[in-house]
Amino acid sequence: MTAPIPAWVDGRLRPVGKLDVHRRGLRHKAVSVFVMRGTEVLIQQRAMGKYHTPGLWANTCCTHPLWGEDAAACAVRRLREELGITGLAPVRAGQVEYRAEVGGGLIEHEVVEIFVAEAGEVLALEPDPEEVMATEWVDIGVLAARVARASGDFTPWLRIYLAEHRGMIFGDLAQA
């Protein structure tokens, strides 16, 4: 059983079980992180055991904050849990809201705090195999072209971020 996440029910923020949130398509809080190395972004391929969008490529990491957890603390926690990344200082880039079907009758309706962190040339990665099956550094422009060419290989939220929020997330690098 996972800890409840913050979701809006009847106009009020309440702790709700993660699977229940997605089955009901409830609007809920989320965090997404993009780790950068110059014009390259670290992406991950979701583990096959994930309950939705298994095997699809996503941004560096994403999650739901725990009830009462600060979004920035959540970003740092999830970098460590999913990828073994420590020592980075994610900076808030903005907020995005989206709704997308993610398969199996599940819906993500997220209000997402987006964070960006700059990594040095060498970044130690220790992906949790329950969460991540592969990682790759890819140039932002190359990633956008790959998503356009084979959108089904990527999570709905990554497609939305690149199509609608690329400038907010990547700033001047969005033109790369």
Residues annotated as catalytic are 62, 110
Residue 18 to residues 59, 75, 82, 110, Cα–Cα distance (Å): 20, 18, 17, 12
Cβ neighbours of residue 148 closer than 8 Å, sequence gap 6 or more: none
Residue 64 to residues 61, 141, 145, 150, 176, Cα–Cα distance (Å): 11, 28, 28, 27, 30
| CA Rg value for the chain | 15
